[in-house]
Amino acid sequence: MPLTVPPVADERDGLLAFLAQQRAALRNAAYGLSDDQARTASTASSLTIGGILKHVAGAERDWIDRVAGTAPTGPGDPEAYMAGFRMDGDESLADMLALYEAATAHTDAVLGGVTDLDAAVALPPAPWFPASATVRWVLLHLIEETARHAGHADIIRESLDSASAGELMAAVEGWEPSQWVTPWKPAASV
């Protein structure tokens, strides 16, 4: 996938392409990390790459369950919500990536059956949400949520080992080095 989304055919294609781009950026931030690194809060924030993957997987599944008209299974209280940002000691980075892949596959399957982006979607009662929204609104919200956390993951990753988003994408996709980007490689162990 290039560093920018290629031209799109229509609105639906555009929304899905921008969501895919942000998903890839988030996954790329985890590339080459150990489980311990994925649990490391390397900035002033308590966020970790593994925890972000866990959170975004849960959030995407809950939003798409709403689109599908099924009951979301997300956290029911603030403590459970905050636990959704932690990669626990018995969880691996591979677990978090698999959880995220399952959530994105669920999204793709549900959205494959949606033909009307204006279809109403009931939202949870909260002062920060309108009473209802559309599939379009949910897709835009998922793009926003994923992009926000992909940016967090970029900063966390750069703080861990100086790897940047472009270098990681080049490594994941096997690009040849160029004047613009050199694919990331793990530091030589001493």
pLDDT, mean of residues 36-49: 96
pLDDT of residue 190: 43
Domain ranges of the chain: 11-173
Q: At what angle do helices 11-29 and 93-112 cross, to 10 degrees?
A: 170
Residue 10 banded pLDDT, cuts 50, 70, 90 = very high
Per-residue confidence (pLDDT) for residue 74, from 0 to 100: 74
Q: Give the pLDDT score at 3.
A: 73
CATH superfamily, domain at 11-173:
dinb family like domain (1.20.120.450)
Provide mean pLDDT across the span 25-38: 97
- pLDDT (tens digit per residue) in 62-114: 999 999 999 777 777 888 888 889 999 999 999 999 999 999 999 999 999 99
Pairwise pLDDT comparison (116 vs 127), residue with the higher score = 116
pLDDT of residue 157: 97
What are the tokens at 93? Answer: 């980075």
Q: What is the pLDDT of residue 57?
A: 97
As a whole number, the mean pLDDT across the chain is 92
* 3-state DSSP of the chain: CCCCCCCCCCHHHHHHHHHHHHHHHHHHHCCCCCHHHHCCCCCCCCCCHHHHHHHHHHHHHHHHHHHHCCCCCCCCCHHHHHHCCCCCCCCCHHHHHHHHHHHHHHHHHHHHCCCCCCCEEECCCCCCCCCEEEHHHHHHHHHHHHHHHHHHHHHHHHHHHCCCHHHHHHHHHCCCCCCCCCCCCCCCCC
Q: What is the pLDDT of residue 189?
A: 53
Could you tell me the pLDDT band of residue 1, with boundaries at 50, 70 and 90? low
* pLDDT at position 187: 82
